Amino acid sequence: DSKQAAYVNLELPDPTNGEYLLGAFHLVPGGDLNILQAAAEIAAESSTGTNFKVNTETKFSKTMNALVYQLDLERNLVWVAYPWRLFDRGGNVQNILTYIVGNILGMKEISALKLLDVWFPPAMLEQYDGPGFTVDDMRKYLDVYDRPILGTIVKPKMGLTSAEYAEVCYDFWVGGGDFVKNDEPQANQDFCPYDKMVMHVKEAMDKAVKETGKKKVHSFNVSAADFDTMIERCEMIVNAGFEPGSYAFLIDGITAGWMAVQTIRRRYPNVFLHFHRAAHGAFTRPENPIGFSVLVLSKFARLAGASGIHTGTAGVGKMKGTPEEDVVAAHGIQYLSSSGHFFEQTWTKIMETDKDAIDLVHEDSAHHVILEDDSWRGMKKCCPIVSGGLNPVRLKPFIDVMGNVDFITTMGSGVHAHPEGTNAGAKALVQACDAYLKDVDIAEYAKDHKELAQAIEFFQKT
């Protein structure tokens, strides 16, 4: 069949030669197509083709065809190579997604289709921004190393006035927390105007910093209806007198879109860009056969330049998620190289990583390569943000599955539902973290740490 002749090459000599972005899909054909026929339809629709071969194609256009280059009939897997010259120049992530998880997810020819993993060739990485301001920069600002950055989300999710909102921030910060985020729907509501919220948060932060002698960070949701309003929100924060480093910009990247993410990355390279991912479940959940994985979403967030993205709690919290999915995604974006579901991704912009020649590199206990100074040669790291139904009691179980402490955690109910309130909730979180660092069981540590004892009592029965 001519489609297979044009869009399948099971003998493609070297898919990793640098010319192709690679994708691995789970595919169940629709109708009476076999997997090879369905795969050819996918490669066609997601590169140069359509349902019929058209008479307008040229010798050159055919070189831009995506190619099915590998199949696993037992597991219903197909691998596709996309010549990356297909993609919009100038580092546009939205454009890639329009191809590789675009029309194809709606085609009749599939009954299940999920992009499980992607691989970016080094030369392609060079075209994309990657993160500007990283969690390492935030760590320097906070003077917090060797432990997770401890955060909260103000709750109730909505309905506090700007002054009430800031008071909750203050209580958390003086309790010892580092980081507060707007819950993602927080915008410019009539009962909590954005400008007042910013002003009150600034006062609350100043007060908390003065009293504790520690730096604090607030992540402001700058997602908005349009470009101008988004930038207005950013500028309001920039001009409110905050110290650089003390504020982050949150974009709800799925609902606001990749253009919003990349705009903030380019306009504010020195601000931590916080990618919240509301609605990702529509395409990432494992029981949904159509979509793409958390790993794929997270890798594109790093490519686009998010400083951090929510990667899930690996089943420890309230959201659906497993270590196989969430931890692989977290490692996939924070390390210089790691194994995804199918691909080994190295985020260097050069083909060969001659480890011996790179004296700034070391390996951690799990043999993940870590750049001492990740601004050098590689695409910078993107920080896993771990959130959703966590509480102090669940901190250690999560660290155990994660295998490292290089993440930001934000606990909403896990802090504000503490029987003694937000301040005590923050203290309990800090104590749970201290217990972990001292390698003491939290039950033991709670014997002389009241807030932690209360948290254990309260959260363990939930």
User: Which residues here bind Mg ion, judged by CB under 5 A?
Assistant: 183-184
Question: Does position 274 bind ligand RUB by CB under 6 A?
Answer: no
Separation between Cα atoms, residue 380 and residue 334, nearest integer Å: 8
Q: Which is nearer to ligand RUB, 77 or 254 (CB)?
A: 254
Q: How far apart are CA 6 and CA 13, in angstroms?
A: 16
> How deeply is 259 buried, as exposed, middle or buried, from its count of CB atoms within 10 A (0-12, 13-18, 19+)?
middle
Residues 143-182 that bind ligand RUB (CB under 6 A): 153, 155
Which member of 41, 184, 252, 451 binds ligand RUB (CB under 6 A)?
Answer: 184
- 456 interface partner picked from ligand RUB, Mg ion, none, CB below 5 to 8 A per type: none
Terminal C-alpha separation, the chain: 59
Interacting residues with ligand RUB between 368 and 407 (CB under 6 A): 387-390
CB of 276: closest distance to Mg ion in angstroms? Answer: 7
Could you tell which of ligand RUB, Mg ion, none binds residue 332, using a CB distance below 5 to 8 A set by kind? none
| Euclidean distance between CA atoms 424 and 418, whole angstroms | 7
Residue 105, number of CB atoms within 10 A of its CB: 17
Kindly state whether residue 252 participates in binding ligand RUB, applying the rule CB under 6 A. Answer: no
Say whether 155 is catalytic. Answer: yes
Please state, in angstroms and rounded to a whole number, the distance separating the CA atoms of residues 121 and 83.
Answer: 10
Nearer to ligand RUB, 3 or 394 (CB): 394
Query: Taking the complex as a whole, how short is the minimal distance between the CB of residue 387 and ligand RUB, in angstroms?
Result: 3
Compare residues 183 and 325 and give the one whose CB is closer to ligand RUB.
183
Cβ distance to ligand RUB smaller for residue 122 or 312 = 312
Task: Give the strand pairing for 77-83 and 408-411.
Answer: unpaired
H-helix segments, 117-223: 122-125, 135-142, 162-174, 194-212
**Which residues, 6 or more positions from 55, have their beta carbon under 8 angstroms from its beta carbon?**
none
* Options 26, 277, 299, 331; binder of ligand RUB; rule CB under 6 A: 277
Name the segment binding ligand RUB (CB under 6 A); options: 71-79, 99-107, 229-237, 310-318. 310-318
| Cα 48 from Cα 425, distance rounded (Å) | 55
Residue type for position 452: L
276 is catalytic: yes
Choices 240-248, 311-319, 343-351, 372-380; region in contact with ligand RUB by CB under 6 A? 311-319
CB distance 197 to 159 below 8 Å: no
Query: Where does 305-449 have alpha helices with state H?
Result: 328-334, 395-402, 413-416, 422-437, 442-445
CB closer to Mg ion out of 275 and 436: 275
Listed residue (363, 377, 300, 292) closest to 122, CA to CA: 377
Interaction partner, residue 132 (ligand RUB, Mg ion, none; CB < 5-8 Å by kind): none
Residue of closest CB approach to ligand RUB: 412
Q: How many CB atoms lie within 10 A of CB 10?
A: 12
**Closer residue to ligand RUB, CB minimum distance, 181 or 341:** 181
By CB under 6 A, residue 192 contacts ligand RUB: no
Could you say which of 3, 26, 114, 155 is catalytic? 155
Give the footprint of ligand RUB on residues 27-56 (CB under 6 A). Answer: none
Binding residue count for ligand RUB, defined by CB under 6 A: 17
Q: Which does 114 bind (CB under 5 to 8 A by kind): ligand RUB, Mg ion, none?
A: none
> Which residues are within 8 A (CB) of 14 and not within 5 positions of it... i.e. 6 or more apart?
none
Amino acid present at 120: F
Nearer to ligand RUB, 117 or 183 (CB): 183
Crossing angle for the helix pair 227-238 and 194-212, nearest 10 degrees?
30
Q: How far is the CB of 310 from ligand RUB (least distance, A)?
A: 3
CA distance 151 to 411: 6
Please choose which of Mg ion, ligand RUB, none residue 176 contacts, taking the beta carbon within 5 to 8 angstroms, the exact cut-off set by kind: none
Which sequence positions are flagged as catalytic?
A: 155, 276
Q: Which residues bind ligand RUB (CB under 6 A)?
A: 153, 155, 183-184, 277, 310, 312, 318-319, 387-390, 411-414
